[in-house]
A and B are shown apart, each in its own frame.
Chain A
């Protein structure tokens, strides 16, 4: 039954016509998967080639991956910027999840004055992307808060999550009300209800959101580029720019090795939570 969930119910009836179309489907899907992965496969191959082969048309993998990686890891401080990105992404993901859970708890399980106004404040924030506010945000964070070059500058402004609040709110609304009633009658407070009942029932949604938030935090580029001048605090995405910039003589084998390593953390998070990621979305669809 669990496996069946992944089959589209619409096409399970296999007519002879559908079966004849299978070959075409396989061919099209293989071609699409290859085309989509092509830039990555080429990067992977080039990352393993010695400098002499990187700039040649050769597509044979070499044995130079570790030496390429070592150059970018040591000379370009990739290790340091990877660690910075990891600190930022983990903190932002954890913080966003906790704050969104608390906000959704308030919106779903309480009645209070100005609830509509508070909800509107969260809703409207979706229409105000950081990129558009960047000049004023830079002024505020660097001058008024004096946070330039600090981790706080690339963590704190991103801790509130409208998307997370909505998804959790939606998910909580699908949990029977009688459960909360029973818990309250048994003397369970809202925080205990959250940690003992709601969170254990929300792992798919939490997993789906964790993927989105980790990838979003890991992908940060424009804001770290302007607010972070100290190289030892820079995140890895903005660090890529420095790698390519170095005086026109780019060491592409090293850059590709660096790019391949930079992709790993979000890929690991995505692979680990893939099931929850897909299921969290299917469930959150309000039917």
Chain B
């Protein structure tokens, strides 16, 4: 018994496998595994299969086209534009969101009076949904009746067409997405800043480092594990949570070139799958996005292991 207990797992911890029984652990795992099998793994296989057919679920027709759907997508100017827009939106919202939330978390963790109240004020918007965000921003930035233009019109005499001007609409969705994500990022940065090693920071201060130097040379490298984690979760949020935001705020528009400028990958997938009923094309987009998410995860692990400072 003792030898069993002293075995260590990969994390270097003591083994805790103290209970006996071969069927019991499977019984505990069964509900989770069953749901994952039926609602995650089976749909994954079916997505990959459907991607090979020119199918229409409503009509019940199917025709095997192999990689035809995928090559069609990659050659389609619409899809290429949507993919490029998604890339730009993701880059801007993730970098903007992370820099802003790191700065705010750093400020909110300074030992000033009322810092607990500040922290609460910064993180409570976590409880707001993307759909609510879309609804609020739609009302605020409605060109005719929105509060923002009402006030801008009174004060400066300008009423920008926020939702119809491509660049403004794109910027609006990006800023709304950053706003929506701030609270989540701040929660994680606050928790990590609290766990920073005091001695290292104080040593740097005593050695005459300016606050900016302490931040960039000492704290920032120590915060790289959480930054890496947040880069990944923020990319996923930019890819998926943006759906409700754009659906309510801009409906993917305004139209520029081959597609709406705020039509991102998931919105296009939804449009093809449930508005245009091009099931095969939508499934092929699902397959491409699976590859994308797998690539992002792979990069996260690769880069994370090599570059991230785990010394904390």
Contacts and interface: CB of A to CB of B under 8 A. Distances in A.
A219 B120 contact: no
B83 interface: no
B112 interface: yes
B102 interface: no
Interface in B225-270: 236, 240, 243-244, 247-248, 266, 269-270
The 6 closest A-B pairs by CB, nearest first: A136-B46, A157-B39, A57-B150, A111-B17, A110-B25, A106-B25
Contact of A134 (B36, B269, B294): B269
Contacts of B290: 127-128, 132
Question: Which of A131, A135, A255 has the most chain B CB within a 10 Å cutoff?
Answer: A135
Interface string A251-270: 01001100100110011011
28 contacts: A6-B115, A9-B194, A9-B198, A18-B211, A21-B211, A26-B112, A28-B107, A36-B182, A39-B136, A39-B179, A40-B125, A42-B147, A55-B145, A107-B29, A110-B25, A127-B293, A132-B290, A135-B57, A136-B43, A138-B273, A177-B18, A215-B126, A215-B129, A221-B129, A222-B270, A263-B129, A266-B127, A281-B191
B35 A134 contact: no
B46 A140 contact: yes
B64 interface: no
A32 B122 contact: yes
A162 B130 CA distance: 22
Contacts of B36: 121-122, 125, 160
Q: Determine the interface band of chain B, counting residues with CB < 8 A from chain A.
A: 35 or more
Interface residues of A, number: 112
Contacts of A138: 57, 273-274
B18 A184 contact: yes
A5 B145 CA distance: 47
A128 B44 contact: yes
Contacts of B201: 10-11
B128 interface: yes
A199 to B, nearest CB: 14
A190 interface: yes
Interface string B23-45: 01110110111011111111110
Given A25-B107, A157-B39, 9 more contacts: A36-B125, A36-B179, A99-B32, A121-B36, A129-B293, A140-B43, A173-B16, A278-B191, A287-B195
B116 interface: yes
A150 interface: no
Interface string B292-303: 011001000000
Given A129-B240, A134-B269, A244-B248, A215 B127 contact: yes
Contacts, number: 326
A189 B129 CA distance: 41
Interface stretch (B7-15, B74-82, B85-93): B7-15
A171 B18 CA distance: 17
Nearest to B198: A9
B107 A8 contact: no
Interface in B133-164: 133-140, 145, 147, 150-151, 153-154
Interface of A: 5-15, 17-18, 21-22, 25-26, 28-29, 32-33, 36-37, 39-40, 42-43, 46, 55-57, 59, 99-100, 102-103, 105-113, 115, 118, 121-122, 125-140, 143, 156-161, 165, 172-173, 177, 180-181, 184, 189-190, 193, 215, 218-219, 221-222, 226, 237-238, 240-241, 244, 252, 255-256, 259, 262-263, 266-267, 269-271, 274, 277-278, 281-282, 285-287
Nearest to B281: A135
A71 to B, nearest CB: 16
A57 B110 contact: no
Contact of A219 (B130, B140, B205): B130
Contacts of B138: 244
B99 interface: no
Given A118-B33, A135-B273, A244 B57 contact: no
A234 to B, nearest CB: 12
A70 to B, nearest CB: 19
A267 B196 CA distance: 29
A30 to B, nearest CB: 8
B190 interface: yes
Contacts of B136: 39-40, 42-43, 259
Nearest to A256: B139
A140 B45 CA distance: 12
Nearest to B139: A252
B220 interface: no
Interface in B163-185: 179, 182-183
B39 A156 contact: yes
Contacts of B247: 221, 241
A74 B312 CA distance: 55
A14 B50 CA distance: 63
Contacts of A131: 240, 243, 266, 269
Contacts of B22: 112-113
Contacts of A226: 270, 273-274
A151 B114 CA distance: 44
A165 B198 CA distance: 32
A285 B179 CA distance: 26
A5 B111 CA distance: 12
Contact of B24 (A17, A156, A190, A237): A190
